[in-house]
Amino acid sequence: MERAFYVLAYDIANDKRRARIAKLCEAVGERVQASVFEGYFTPPELEKLLKKLGRVLKVEEDSLRVYALCSACRQRLVVRGRGKPTPAPGVVIV
């Protein structure tokens, strides 16, 4: 199953919940700003992550946005300042 590129951004009202959300995202993605992560996920991987995040989020107080970027959009990504775009995953040999 092919992985697609996603940007996850959040605004979490509570420090403890924010730390838990960050830890979940750090386990599977690349932190590119304080509350913004990039990563490549298959649909089942993304769904699993969203379920985990959903158990922590309080929808009345918090916000999570997930943006899918197609290959053409990814090629037009512009980064200014520190950091560079998250590289596509390479071949994984198990």
Give me the pLDDT at residue 82, please: 82
What pLDDT is stored for residue 87 in this prediction?
Answer: 80
CATH class of the domain defined by 4-75: alpha beta
Residue 33, CA distances (Å) to 44, 56, 90, 91, 92 in order: 25, 20, 23, 26, 27
Q: What's the confidence (pLDDT) of residue 22?
A: 97
User: Would you state the pLDDT for residue 77?
Assistant: 84
* Positive/negative CA dihedral, 15, 20, 21, 27: positive
- How is the chain split into domains, by residue range? 4-75
Q: Which of 22, 68, 74, 72 is nearest to 45 (CA)?
A: 68
Calpha distance 48→28 (Å, rounded):
11
Q: What is the mean pLDDT of each run of 10 residues along the chain (94 residues)?
A: 93 97 96 95 96 96 95 84 79 49
The pLDDT of residue 85 is 76
